[in-house]
Amino acid sequence: MTSTAKYCLQDAQYEFPYHYLPQLERDVTVRLGRYLPWGLDYVTYMTFIGDLLRERRPESLLDVGCGDGRLAHLVKADIPNVCGVDLSERAIAFARAFNPDVDFICADISTLTRRYACLTLIEVLEHISDEAMEGFVQTLSELVEDDGHVLISVPTVNLPLNKKHYRHYDRELLEATLAPHFVVDQYWWLYRRGIWERCITSALANRAFILNLKPLQRMIWRIHKRLTYHADAASGAHLVCWARRKGHRGRDA
C-alpha cells in the first residue's frame, strides 16, 4: 500500500469530527456519546497528555498532525500560544470550526519556519513512511526551540498493526527513530489491555447500550484509573515520551 493510499484511509475518516465524541467531563464522568470501542482508550491517553502539558506549561505549542484539533481544544486555556498543523483540509476545517481562537495551518511541516517551545505528535509517527522518517524527524528538530521539548505518543507492538499505519512501536524502536536529533527523558505506557479492560469498556458502551448514568460512569472511571489506565511494556496499548533536542540538558538536570 502506498503512502498516498494510507493517507487517504485516514483522511476519509474526517467526514465527521470523531475525536470529539469521547470526553472526560469536569466532574470526572467519562462520556462516550455513541458506541466507540476505542473511546476509553482515546480518553485515557489524551487525558494523560493534557495533564503532562499543563504540568510543564510551555509558552508555545505546535501540535503536529493535529487532525480535527482535539488536543488544542483540550489545552488551549492553559497554554498561551497553541497552533496545529495537518495535511488534511477536511480535518483542519473541523479544527477551525471547533476552535476559532486557535491558529490551524493546512500544510506540510517542512514549509513552516517558526520555532516552538513544545511540539506534540499524538499518534502521528506510525503514519510516516520509512523513507520519509529521517527527514521528518530532522524537520521536527528544526521547529523546536533549542531548549524545547517534544511530547510523543504512539501505538505499541501490543496492538495489531492498523492498516493505516506503517509500524507500531516498542521503546527501542521509538528511541532509534528519534536518536539522530532527540534524547528521550521519560517514558510511560498507558491503557492496560486484558480482561479488566474488556469488562470496563463493555460496561461503558457496547452494541446493546451506552451507559449514561453519571454515578456509574464516575465509578467505572475510578476503577479504570486503578486497574487499567497505567500499563507496562508488556500490556500497554500506547507509549508516551518526553524528548529533548540533542545537546541540551533536561529540565531537571
How many structural domains is the chain composed of? 1
pLDDT band at 253 (very low <50, low <70, confident <90, very high): very low
Q: What does the pLDDT average to over 39-43?
A: 91
CB 169 within 8 A of CB 156: yes
Give the pLDDT score at 157.
98
Least reliable range by pLDDT among 8-17, 45-54, 130-139, 203-212: 8-17
Q: List, as one string, the DSSP characters of the chain.
A: --HHHHHHHHHHGGGS-GGGSSEE-TTS-EE-SS--TTHHHHHHHHHHHHHHHHHH--SEEEEET-TTTHHHHHHTTTSSEEEEEES-HHHHHHHHHH-TTSEEEES-GGG----EEEEEEES-GGGS-HHHHHHHHHHHHHHEEEEEEEEEEEEBTTSPPPTT-S--B-HHHHHHHHTTTEEEEEEEEEEE-SHHHHHHHHHHB-SS-B---HHHHHHHHHHHHHHTSB--TTTEEEEEEEEEETTS--TT-
Residue 250 lies in a domain: no
The predicted model gives 148-152 an average pLDDT of 97
Task: CATH number of the domain at 87, please.
Answer: 3.40.50.150
135 inside domain: yes
Assess if residue 251 is contained within a domain.
no
Amino acid at 248: H
Q: What is the pLDDT of residue 28?
A: 57
Residue 253 lies in a domain: no
Question: pLDDT exceeding 90 applies to what percent of the chain?
Answer: 75
Residue 2 — pLDDT band, cuts 50, 70, 90? Answer: very low
Flag whether 132 is in a domain: yes
CA 182-65-18 angle, 5° bins: 140
Q: What is the percent of the chain where pLDDT is above 70?
A: 84
Query: What is the span of the domain harbouring residue 142?
Result: 3-244
Q: Is residue 59, in this structure, part of any structural domain at all?
A: yes
Predicted local distance difference test score (pLDDT) of residue 145: 96
Q: Does a structural domain hold residue 252?
A: no
Residue, of 111 and 207, whose pLDDT is higher? 111
pLDDT category at 252 given cuts 50, 70, 90 is very low
Residue 39 forms part of a structural domain: yes
Average pLDDT over residues 98-104: 95
- Which residues contact residue 104 at a Cβ distance below 8 angstroms, ignoring those fewer than 6 apart? 66, 69, 72, 83, 84, 85, 86, 92, 95, 96
Q: What is the tens place of the pLDDT at every residue in 208-221?
A: 788 888 899 899 99
Local confidence band at 11 (pLDDT 50, 70, 90 cut-offs): low
- Nine-digit cell string for 232: 507496562
Distance CA 191, CA 46 (A): 11
Average per-residue pLDDT in the chain?
89
The per-residue pLDDT for 204 is 87
